[in-house]
Amino acid sequence: MRVVPLLTATVAILTGLTSLATPATAQAKPADTTHTRHIEVRRDRPDPRVPVVVRKSGEALIDLNASAPGTDWASAGAESAVVSISVDNRYVTDLVVSGAQPLHRQLALGRLTAGVHQLRLHYAGERSAATSKSVVVDTLRVSTYAKESPEYQVLRYAPVVYGRNIAALGTPYQNATTDTPLIAWHESAPAPTPGHTKLTYSVVWSNEDGGTNTPALMARWGRTTDIEWIYSVEVDANGDRVAGSDTYQAPDHQTLHFTGRYENDHALLQTCTSNNNMCDTVDDPMRFFLSYLPTLPADQAREYLMDANPWTYEIMAKEMLREGKIEAPSATTPTTPEVSDQRNYLFAVVKKTTQPANAGASWVGVSLGVRLVSGDTVYLSHHLDPTWSLQRDDPAATTVELPAGTTADDIAEVTAHRVVVGIDTGATVHVTAIKRGFLLGQNYLPQQSFLTWNGDVTLDSTTTSAVLWHR
């Protein structure tokens, strides 16, 4: 990886410059970094332009901290401000910014050749809340990954996602207010052909306006964000795309071969359904070129990437509030299936195996239960709907709704419950871990995980529940 120095901008920008004493290798982090501090991108001012020197051609990423004073993702009409980022007058990506608290974001800029380039930050007024006036950018850094870098191949084939423009769900700029792409990652695995690699790219959206209903999302997936793989490609031993190998997740969760356009080696896709599936034709004015550099560690739930970016939980919760998907507080909210304030939930990840594996219309799932120190009531993650229990055997995220105001100290024990869907298949379930458990704080950010457990509890037709953890 090479960190690119940012030269003094041509508009009034406070710039802090640090020279690189020696060029950084692809494997080593540079000893020094270059920062441009406090760039204000305003609705009523010229666009800031920042010259960027690229020492060696490669795939580029931009890291920055951004805030938008006067915006709040929970407030209708004040959701966000949008900055459109261009390189050499080539529109690259939008950045949706919400809230006055700076958030670190990493985006892709695509392929940059060696030499001097101009970065342009444009306040996209037509995409921003009418009441917003500016976006403040701090600690801006551009990095390039040359061909010899191990990260280069992943970035070379990363897709660009154009915004959604379903008329029933809003304007062509609807991803500035709903179901906005937040973060992305890649996974790499050996392909069937020896020496070949399969790359799969996934995105986390703030919600899905269609598809799985909100209570089922919380019970079955432990969140109300939407997480989908969107694009996959096979590359050969030389790092080149295998012709015809790339696929994408199309409407109705179909896997189709990509037949659309490329920008260099980047497939151009568009969110085209209410549950964030892809099409390979693009026509929306917004586009999102997220960084797919992060990867999902082995034996981790997909929500691990949200845990690594805790601000995603705040955006998730605020979208639920603004869109009226949260039930009114009452003494009975923990026992109703509707979603209450998401600060009322235990967010947990369970690891289990089912023998024989679940298949077909009948299957055996697991529900997580929580009992508080104040009573004998067991609150269940599936809200007594068998189909909302955990079917998959990957590390699986779920939530348990608890009375408002519950703290970690109020939780006495956590239990696992065998749940039958359809006809009992006789399957045995081995529950072997709770990988994390936390509550959201008053600011909707995850508090420190207080719940981990490792062991081997067996659930079968005669032993249908067991205590996993207790005080």
The residue range of the domain holding 127 is 2-145
For 436, list phi and psi in degrees, rounded to 5. -165, 155
Residue 287 pLDDT more than 90? Answer: yes
Does 125 lie in the same domain as 189? no
pLDDT at 108: 98
Average pLDDT of the segment spanning 179-197: 98
Task: Tell me: do 372 and 454 sit in the same domain.
Answer: yes
Classify residue 268: in a domain, yes or no.
yes
Residue 34 pLDDT:
58
What digits encode the pLDDT tens for the residues 369-392? Answer: 999 999 999 999 999 999 999 999
**Residue 407 gets which letter from DSSP?**
-
CA–CA dist 104, 135 (Å, integer)? 13
**Does any domain span residue 444?**
yes
User: Whose CA is closest to 87, among 62, 109, 113?
Assistant: 109
Residue 198's pLDDT band (boundaries 50, 70, 90)?
very high
State how far the Cα of 250 lies from the Cα of 201, in Å rounded to an integer: 14
Query: Do residues 225 and 90 both lie within one domain?
Result: no
Among 8-17, 26-35, 118-127, 315-324, the range scoring the smallest mean pLDDT is: 8-17
Kindly state the average pLDDT of the residues 198-214: 97
Average pLDDT over residues 426-444: 98
pLDDT of 21 higher than 80: no
Q: What is the mean pLDDT of the chain?
A: 92
Q: Quick one: 138 and 158 in the same domain?
A: no
Confirm whether 311 is domain-assigned. no
State the pairing for strand pair 160-162/181-190. unpaired
- Percent of the chain exceeding pLDDT 70 equals 92
Q: What is the CATH number of the domain that holds 95?
A: 2.60.120.260
pLDDT at residue 220, as a whole number: 97
- Statement to judge: residues 251 and 203 lie in one domain: yes
Comparing CA positions, the residue from 384, 386, 279 lying closest to residue 336 is 384
Same domain, 367 and 435: yes
Backbone φ and ψ for 215, nearest 5 degrees, come out as -60, -40
3-class DSSP assignment, residue 35: strand
Domain boundary among 305, 322, 342: 305
Contact by Cβ (8 Å): 181, 208:
no
Is the pLDDT at 327 greater than 70, yes or no? yes
- pLDDT-based confidence at 441, cuts 50/70/90? very high
- What mean pLDDT is predicted for residues 256-285? 98
Is the pLDDT at 25 greater than 90? The verdict is no
Chain segment 301-310, per-residue pLDDT in tens: 999 999 999 9
Residues 109 and 214 in one domain: no
For residue 1, the model assigns a pLDDT of 57
Together in a domain, 37 and 92: yes
In a domain, 225, yes or no: yes
- Position 29 pLDDT exceeds 90: no
Q: Is the pLDDT confidence value at 31 over 60?
A: no
- pLDDT at 183 (0 to 100): 98
Confidence of residue 155 (pLDDT cuts 50, 70, 90): very high
Residues 391-429 have pLDDT tens digits of 999 899 999 999 999 999 999 999 999 999 999 999 999
The b-or-e profile of 443-465 (16+ CB within 10 A means b, else e) is ebebbebebebeeebebeeeeeb
Our count of domains for the chain comes to 3
Closest CA to 53 of 143, 179, 122, 129: 143
| Residues 6 and 139 reside in one and the same domain | yes
pLDDT of residue 139: 87
3-state secondary structure 2-54: EEECECCCCCCCCEECCCCCCCCCCCCCCCCCCEECCEEEECCCCCCEEEEEE
pLDDT of residue 217: 97
In-domain check, residue 321: no
Based on the fold, state whether residues 393 and 295 are members of the same structural domain. no
Task: State which of 263, 290, 305 marks the end of a domain.
Answer: 305
Confidence (pLDDT) at 17: 27
DSSP code per residue over 221-290? ISSSSEEEEEEEEEE-TTSPBPTT--EEEEGGGEEEE--S-EETTEEEEEE-STT--EES----S-EE-B
Q: Are residues 160 and 263 in the same domain?
A: yes
Instruction: Please indicate, yes or no, whether residues 31 and 66 belong to a single structural domain of this protein.
Output: yes
